[in-house]
């Protein structure tokens, strides 16, 4: 029997009765045969994907991040096959605003008809009558947050929420200005942006969200590191007898109590390693060394702007 571990404590999404363990699971890597590159088609090993999901839930994970454009449809169908009927405390978070081209391309899909169809696809493939949380991913910037109005698509999601198809709404790939504007339209329970040791432009945003009790969910915990930054992280990991991914995840959990992490993997072995990061203790001197990674990024960016 899989042993449950303390997954870094818990967090209650604002204005909800949904309390999740801070160490969750991101299902993106369950789709496709070439890792995260395209997220296209079924995995090589469907039974292995099912085993990962069941191991995660058995270990105490009760927050799964997904989307019906992973595959497309593949990831949600695997989640349903592995876990339905779902545990009462399981919170499934999906995202919308993208459809997939026949070549695997990512195409913005933010019209009323496209968003409504996306919600119906998520409901059908997950086997749900209502989705716990739907994140609207801003498509104004493909790879990073870029200013632009989200009023039209958010209004559609708010209407679908009123109809009982969505319980709560979050945002992804957004700026502070967009978050403030969105909160005038509908309550926002979480924000999902790129953030890690090397990319810390959301430092102030995380603090502001924490004051309002809003979750912050970083993605790409090891994305975009320079060779020097990677070396520093690897050196710290070796000192702690841990992997670089474990240290990166532990730092995120240490960073702020409103941070929820959702590392993804298609391997049970790697899943177990990731979950163990929630128990990794970071001494003050280690945190200080890790903070220099972000400091280097800031100096490099400042230099580049001159």
195 is catalytic: no
Q: Which residues contact 242 (CB under 8 A, 6 or more apart)?
A: 250, 277, 280
- Per DSSP, 266 falls in state S
Contact 264, 232 (CB under 8 A): no
CA dihedral 196, 200, 201, 203 (to 10 degrees): 110
Which residue in the list 70, 86, 195, 216 is annotated as catalytic?
Answer: 70
Which positions ≥6 away from 192 have C-beta within 8 Å? 65, 95, 135, 137, 170, 171, 172, 173, 216, 217, 218, 219
Q: What is the distance between the alpha carbons of residues 281 and 269, in angstroms, rounded to a whole number?
A: 21
Q: Annotated catalytic sites, by residue?
A: 70
């Amino acid at each position: 029997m899989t042993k449950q571990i303390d997954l870094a404590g818990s967090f209650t999404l604002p204005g909800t009765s949904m309390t999740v363990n801070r160490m969750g699971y991101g299902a993106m890597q369950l789709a496709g045969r070439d890792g995260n590159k395209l997220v296209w088609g079924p995995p090589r090993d469907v039974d292995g994907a099912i085993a990962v999901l069941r191991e995660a839930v058995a270990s105490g994970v009760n927050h799964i991040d997904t989307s019906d454009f992973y595959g497309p449809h593949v990831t949600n169908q695997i989640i349903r096959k592995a876990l339905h009927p779902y545990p009462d405390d399981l919170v499934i978070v999906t995202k919308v605003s993208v459809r997939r081209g026949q070549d695997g391309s990512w195409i913005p899909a933010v019209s009323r008809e496209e968003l409504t169809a996306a919600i119906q696809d998520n409901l059908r493939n997950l086997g749900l009558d209502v989705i716990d949380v739907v994140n609207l991913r801003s498509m104004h910037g493909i790879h990073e947050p870029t200013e632009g109005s989200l009023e039209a698509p958010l209004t559609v999601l708010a209407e679908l929420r009123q109809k009982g198809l969505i319980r709560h709404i979050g945002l992804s790939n957004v700026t502070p200005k967009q978050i403030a504007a969105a909160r005038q339209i509908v309550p926002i329970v979480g924000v999902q942006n790129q953030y890690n040791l090397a990319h810390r432009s959301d430092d102030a945003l995380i603090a502001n969200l924490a004051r309002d009790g809003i979750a912050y969910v970083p993605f790409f915990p090891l994305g975009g590191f320079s060779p020097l930054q990677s070396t520093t992280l690897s050196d710290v990991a070796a000192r702690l007898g841990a992997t670089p991914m474990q240290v990166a995840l532990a730092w995120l959990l240490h960073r702020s109590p409103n941070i929820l992490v959702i590392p993804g993997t298609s391997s049970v072995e790697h899943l177990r390693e990731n979950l163990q990061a929630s128990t990794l203790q970071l001494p003050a001197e280690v945190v200080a060394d890790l903070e220099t990674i972000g400091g280097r990024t800031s100096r490099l960016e400042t230099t580049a702007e001159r």
